[in-house]
Amino acid sequence: LCSPSPQASHGQSNQSLSSSIDSSDSQDTVIIEESSCSKRMRLDDEAKKLVETILVQKPGGEHIINEYNRTKSLEDETRRKLVNILTADMTEKNGTSPPRQVKEKYARGIVALFPYLSDPFSKNGY
């Protein structure tokens, strides 16, 4: 599915790490680049935890999770409830015009927590 980025090759990391360790200068810094795949997986996991935490804490959220687990889909009314809960949380925390990154984080969280709801025709599933 995902392959490591060309910049984060194993040989470069070891060479950079050993030169930093051998040097006594405290200004040396080792930068380990995260592959785009592992970064995406980490961001998806963070977003999934965010959405799950919100739903578990809000009234009606457990019902949404249970319905999805039972049917692998959501009825229209349940889907609207999901959107209302998450939108209310997003605007409560980020104001009435949240940044694009915040909206995308919530969208990633929905798709990560409810994979059968993802849009098969879009790049990211939302």
Q: What is the pLDDT of residues 72-124, one digit of tens each?
A: 999 999 999 999 999 999 999 999 999 999 999 999 999 999 999 999 999 98
Checking if the pLDDT of 70 tops 50, the result is yes
Residue 18 and residue 40: Cα distance in Å, rounded? 28
Q: What pLDDT score does 17 carry? A: 40
Checking if the pLDDT of 60 tops 90, the result is yes
Sequence-ordered list of residues with C-beta below 8 angstroms from that of 77, at least 6 positions apart, any chain = none
Which is more confidently placed, 103 or 36? 103
Checking if the pLDDT of 7 tops 80, the result is no
